[in-house]
Amino acid sequence: MSRPLVLGIDLGLSGIRSAVMSVDGDVLAVSSRYAVPTAHAPGRAEQDPRDWLDGLAKSVAEVLTGVSPDLIAAIGISALGPAPVLVDENLQPLAPALLFSLDTRAEEQRCRLRDQLGLSDAQLNHDHAIPKLMWWAEQDPDWWLCVDQVMDATGFLVSSLTGTATMDRITVEDYQLAGATSPVRTPEPVEPTAVVGTLTRDWSERLGLPAETPVLAGIYDSYADTAAAGALEDGQACLVLGSTLVIAAVSTRIPEDLDGLLTAPHLGSGRLVGGWTTSGGTALAWARRLLADSDSPLQLDARAQALVPGDGGLIFLPYLAGERSPVHDPHATGAIVGLTHESTPEQVYRAVLDGVVLSVRDHVERLARAGIRPPSWNVRGGGAGSPALMQGIADALGSPLHVMEHPSDPGGPCVLALHGLGIDPPVRIQRTYHPDRTTTVRYDRLYDVYVELYPSLRGPMHALRRLNHSDGGNL
């Protein structure tokens, strides 16, 4: 008799993909990435939840080609977030979803609430959902009367598949705040690995799966990936290198002074301590577009790897979309410092890569000051496919990087589904990058320059941003 399989569905900033995994942790099939359009404007970043559903249907149809539907024992879902979705009493979306810290239209509400509660920017950062809900409620009070409740992206996908309004216990922390009341209700929180329902008749027919197929509550994509990377117990740590970066160490001891870092619950013991940046892989993609390089990403990667860190005297600050850790500043911007007439495209790309590397280093330095010093790091995400990035991070941290098998596949929600079935899949390492001590010393010197950049440039960054957003062009 054939062994059961699980289906994982992952919604990221760059689109939606699916995977099928065996109970042994083998990835058997992966769909293409179905892009979801993002509406962009200054301070605005939103996606239509109905586009998520279209992408989900296409992704699942592709990944299940040749797979017996009766073998799917559970469906796990992970998604970007916080991305609040307002729904009516029939769980239908009423507005586009605002994409976490990329959408800063609620900054006035966030600052007002922060000051009222006497909080810091780290305690109420620009990811938090409540200021976004306040912004919505203030835009059109009459329209707001149609809103029944709010879910995040993961919960919305689950509720669409099952007909059950859903929010997991981790996501709900971004919808709660001591001393403040959310202007709209959320579903009762449940465990991410809990089965919340089975497929509705419509979705059963649309996906070609049995109606009794169980669907789990799901979780943010970053937490599914940290679990898949094996960061579950005290002392374990991982990097998730996607469009954004996640630098996370598991600790049962939370430092009093987080020094710009964040802490969050997760699927394992203790809490995650580290950071969720706003830009990571998107910075490298931006650099490739800017340089209009005709080579493949791996060819450009190889040319950059032939250079030393800081080659040509260049350094880059990767705050292209503001930053949420360890600097909590939605108005921060990127910067390339050290440009001369002799600067080459390869040196500029190397500088951008080094900026992403040093962002990781900045988080790890702060973890070390808090007494959290993981001996090595497990790695997942599309960035693991860049040897230059991997070697650069290993060198900058002076620590080995263990790249997981199938690091860029949407295996996180599959692992979540396996945990829901009571199965703990093995964590398999595909490759290890060891630090080069000579390059580590060079990164030490480059890091000293890097940490001076933001404090020195914060004022000019904000002034230029005001100029760019002003009607008359006055500072």
In a domain, 475, yes or no: no
**Residue pLDDT, tens place only, 254-293:** 888 899 999 999 999 999 999 999 999 999 999 998 887 7
Please name every residue paired with 39 in a beta bridge, in sequence order, or none if there are none.
46
In a domain, 422, yes or no: no
CA 443 to chain CA mean position, Å: 26
In a domain, 417, yes or no: no
Rounded CA separation 396/474 (Å): 41
Same domain (yes/no): 252, 181: no
In a domain, 428, yes or no: no
Residue with tokens 């954004």: 244
pTM score, whole prediction:
0.91
- Alpha carbon separation from 227 to 224, 372, 380, 385, 430 (Å, rounded): 5, 19, 10, 20, 17
Backbone torsions φ then ψ of 419, nearest 5 degrees: -60, -35
In a domain, 423, yes or no: no
Look at residue 213 and give its three-state secondary structure: coil
Residue partners of 181: CB distance under 8 A and separation at least 6: none
Residue 186 has pLDDT above 70, yes or no: yes
**Residue pLDDT, tens place only, 10-30:** 999 889 999 999 999 999 999
**Residue pLDDT, tens place only, 85-141:** 999 999 999 999 999 988 999 999 999 999 999 998 888 988 999 999 999 999 989
Q: In 3-state terms, the chain is what percent helix, strand and coil (to 5)? A: 40, 20, 40
The amino acid present at 109, given as its one-letter code, is: Q
Same domain (yes/no): 266, 186: no
- Residue 292 confidence (pLDDT): 76
Token pair for 95: 């507005």
DSSP assigned state of 4: P
**Residue pLDDT, tens place only, 407-428:** 999 999 999 999 999 999 889 9
In a domain, 137, yes or no: yes
Confidence of residue 470 (pLDDT cuts 50, 70, 90): low
Domain closes at, from 161, 190, 217:
217
Rounded CA separation 232/227 (Å): 6
In a domain, 225, yes or no: no
Same domain (yes/no): 247, 212: no
- Residue 148 confidence (pLDDT): 97
Same domain (yes/no): 252, 395: yes
Same domain (yes/no): 206, 251: no
If phi over 0 gives left and psi between -120 and 50 gives alpha, with beta otherwise, what is residue 312? left
DSSP assigned state of 171: G
- Residue 474 confidence (pLDDT): 44
Same domain (yes/no): 122, 238: no
Rounded CA separation 409/75 (Å): 16
Same domain (yes/no): 240, 197: no
Rounded CA separation 447/440 (Å): 10
CA 70 to chain CA mean position, Å: 32
Query: If you count DSSP H runs as helices and E runs as strands, how many of each does the chain have, helices first?
Result: 13, 21
Same domain (yes/no): 354, 457: yes
In a domain, 419, yes or no: no
Same domain (yes/no): 194, 304: no
**Residue pLDDT, tens place only, 345-380:** 999 999 999 999 999 999 999 999 999 999 999 999
Please give the residue range of the domain that contains residue 134.
Answer: 5-217
Cβ-based neighbour number of residue 205 at 10 Å: 11
User: What total of structural domains would you count in the chain?
Assistant: 2
- Alpha carbon separation from 384 to 8, 24, 131, 387, 444 (Å, rounded): 20, 23, 34, 7, 23
Q: Are 327 and 318 in contact (CB under 8 A)?
A: no
Q: How far apart are the first and last CA of the chain?
A: 72
Look at residue 135 and give its three-state secondary structure: helix
Domain closes at, from 184, 217, 250:
217
Kindly give the residue spans of alpha helices, DSSP state H, lying in 217-280.
Answer: 221-228
Same domain (yes/no): 149, 186: yes
Domain closes at, from 196, 217, 238:
217
Residue partners of 118: CB distance under 8 A and separation at least 6: none
Token pair for 295: 């080579």
Backbone torsions φ then ψ of 197, nearest 5 degrees: 170, -175
Same domain (yes/no): 181, 268: no
What is the overall mean pLDDT for the chain?
A: 94
Rounded CA separation 145/405 (Å): 48
- Residues of the chain with pLDDT > 70, as a percent, come to 98
Rounded CA separation 227/221 (Å): 10
Residue 473 has pLDDT above 70, yes or no: no
Same domain (yes/no): 149, 102: yes
47: domain CATH number is: 3.30.420.40
